[in-house]
Amino acid sequence: MLNSHGRYAYSGIVERKPFDWPEGKKLAVYIALNLEHYAFGEGLTEQLVPGMPAHDVLNHSWREYGNRVGAWRLLELFDELGLPVTLLVNSELYGECPQLIAAFRQRGDEIAAHGRTNSERQSDLPEEAEARLIAEATDTITRHEGRPPRGWLGPWIAETTATPDLLHESGYHYVLDWCADDQPIWLGTRKGRLLAVPYPQELNDSSAIIGRQVGASEFSDMVCDQFDEMLRQSRSTHRGAAQPLVMGIALHSYIAGQPFRLAHLRRALRHIAQRRGDIWLTTAGAIAAHAGTRIA
């Protein structure tokens, strides 16, 4: 018998009881913008140019560009198109550039937790240390936002065998680490259930553009094609009733916020915004809140 995580059982999407998103919509679309903070000269890194020496000014500056410039340009684009955002925040950013997070807060965007910093990952930690990491990130966000975050994306999407348990016990309603489905699914934990909201690993500028060297125009085409196909699938009645689906777009300010990529991203997001009457443009937290009362 193969090892299993034991968090959920198999369920084919065509076998499930149908439900609707608000106003009878079938496709929910959300944008997740990762705002990340890295230590200088130590810890894990996202690298534009791999293999640089330890005093890595090049890659550190590239990542910092996202918080200093790229995120502000993306903010302008979201304002232009009237798009809500789920902001995935490394809690260390409150000490680095609180005005950036405040700008998204003023729009009414959702603030979700993304650990303390992307210079670390919790999968290396014993349970007690992981619990402290989650508590520190949660407490920092709660102190600044006046309410605890409902959702969590682990730095580097790295978990231990206890992560869902610790998140549930820390009051989280949903997690974005598990990319196994196009609908929210329940994860079992030792004291209850935790909702896994779909978070994209294909429509993710880090894995696609940096990891697989996809070009800016091709990434934009991927977003448009994913949207068109998922909208069609969400309305399909083949093998049963139409299925409500979730489409996420994962962006990082130091990648998507580069001007030449932003130009192509604008085309893709405009394509989606023009169909806002046909879809539910929303946040990951709103998806979790709605689905949590409707799925078994």
Query: Domain range spanning residue 185?
Result: 16-291
pLDDT at 240: 64
Question: How far is 274 from 107, CA to CA, in rounded Å?
Answer: 20
Domain annotation covers residue 150: yes
Count: domains in the chain: 1
Task: CATH number of the domain at 179, please.
Answer: 3.20.20.370
Domain annotation covers residue 101: yes
Length of the chain counted residue by residue: 296
pLDDT at 14: 87
Domain annotation covers residue 145: yes
pLDDT at 46: 85
Write phi, then psi, for 148 (nearest 5 degrees): -75, 150
Contacting residues for 100 by C-beta, under 8 A, at least 6 apart: 35, 67, 71, 72, 93
The pTM of the whole model exceeds 0.75:
yes
pLDDT at 55: 80
Domain annotation covers residue 296: no
Write phi, then psi, for 281 (nearest 5 degrees): -85, 115
Contacting residues for 61 by C-beta, under 8 A, at least 6 apart: none
Domain annotation covers residue 68: yes
Is residue 89 within 8 A of residue 113, CB to CB? The reply is: yes
Domain annotation covers residue 261: yes
Domain annotation covers residue 283: yes
Specify the 3-state DSSP secondary structure of 99: helix
Query: What does the pLDDT profile of the chain (296 residues) look like in tens digits?
Result: 889 999 999 999 988 888 999 999 999 999 999 999 999 988 888 888 887 777 889 889 999 999 999 999 999 999 999 999 999 999 999 999 999 999 999 999 999 999 999 999 999 999 999 999 999 999 999 999 999 999 999 999 999 999 999 999 999 999 999 999 999 999 999 999 999 999 999 999 999 999 999 999 999 999 999 999 999 999 886 666 678 999 999 999 999 999 999 999 999 999 999 999 999 999 999 999 999 999 98
Give the residues across from 161 on adjacent strands: none
Domain annotation covers residue 1: no
